[in-house]
Amino acid sequence: MMGMAFTTYGITALICYFPGGFIADRFNTRKLLSISLILTSLGGLMLLFYPNFYFLCFIYGYWGITSILFCWSALIKATKIVGKNRQGLSFGALEGGRGLIAAILSSIAVIIYSNIFLQEYFADIVPIKSTPLSLVICFYTISTFIAGIIIWFFFKNETNESSSESILLAFKKVKNFLRVISYQALIVLSAYSAYKGVDYYSQYFYDILNFSKEKSATTMSNLSYLRPICAITAGLVADKISATKHSIFLFIILSISFICLSLFSLTINIQILILINIITSMVAVFALRGIYFCYLKETNIPSSMTGFSVGIISLIGFFPDVYIGPIFGYFLDNYDKELSYNLCYIFLLVISIIGLISSLKLHYAKNST
């Protein structure tokens, strides 16, 4: 049931990335972000009534529209405008902040879910059937609504530095524009594929390293706090040496980690080496997530074309939402555990090499313009 709901969201999101870019270029960023969050919170209200299967899928499709069509490209555009000449720090802070806030909200949700006293307290003030899950939904819904209100009143309207002349200039150079955008899309696709692969580390701990389920979950939870640290640090480094140079280095590190993970013999004597490579790959993945929209500024994409560019990059770059699950599922279902994970890491190695080549191509392309 939930798998189909998530699939509905993923398909809707993919459909919305491209038109969302056009919307971001034509409407006020502050209003788009605020309206998106408020509309998304309304979906949370619908979820409180425990809908049937079909309405649940409708809610997730609705979220795909409110969070992607109205928000995603506008969010990236706003970050680019706010960052000005510090794109690395700006995008690194965005990704790091997303990771940190997600971890904090998740921790609060767990406290609410498990605390009987809080459940009894909210039961007196929440006008619905009070269950631990409904209280967690209320918490996320209210948090999202408040964020939308804050953005409406406190986020400054952007001063779009571009004009119709810059749009015309971009289309005059459409051949080069499409080339650098395609490289950026492949970089995001490679980094996001690796990020989706990280989701399987917890299962890897349990299946291969013989961790208990509790230890596997705790280990991944603790390692997730690397995300804000790595993203912000990567952004600062990118501002110093350029995002393309930094991504080349990170894809080299990522490729080496996946080579090691795919070749190691799984004995207890090298368990520490496996963990080191897993942590190294996570550091590289989280760092790449912090900088893979910094290339927009480095390749001189005008603000008037930011939404359009982000739409194309996201449509291609986030396609791993569609194929990683089925491919990894096929490996894990049809081969023994050791071989199946080796195949997963070989697949991620190939994708990382594609990211490395795309980073090199983008680096030389932007220097030749």
Asked if residue 8 has pLDDT above 90, the reply is no
Query: Would you state the pLDDT for residue 139?
Result: 78
Number of domains in the chain: 1
* Residue 84 confidence class, pLDDT cut points 50, 70, 90: confident
* Burial classification of residue 103, based on how many CB atoms lie within 10 Å of its CB (0-12 exposed, 13-18 middle, 19 or more buried): middle
The answer for residues whose C-beta is within 8 angstroms of residue 257's C-beta and 6 or more apart is 277, 278, 280, 281, 284
pLDDT at 163 over 50: no
Q: Name, in order, each residue with C-beta under 8 angstroms of 319's C-beta and a sequence gap of 6 or more.
A: 14, 189
Residue-number span of the structural domain to which 246 is assigned: 2-367
> Which of 134-138, 283-287, 326-330, 365-369 is most confident?
283-287
Q: What is the CATH number of the domain that holds 101?
A: 1.20.1250.20
Which residues fall within 8 angstroms of residue 54, CB to CB, at 6 or more apart?
none
Which of 33-42, 253-262, 266-275, 306-315 comes out lowest in average pLDDT? 266-275
CB 190 within 8 A of CB 354: yes
pTM over 0.75: yes
Residue 45, pLDDT > 70, answer: yes
Across 129-137, average pLDDT:
66
Nearest CA-CA partner of 357 in 239, 254, 257: 254
Structure-token match 């699950």, residue found? 325
Confidence band of 322 (pLDDT split at 50, 70, 90): confident
Answer with the residue of higher pLDDT: 154 or 202. 202
pLDDT tier at 248, thresholds 50, 70, 90: very high
3-state class (DSSP) for residue 4: helix
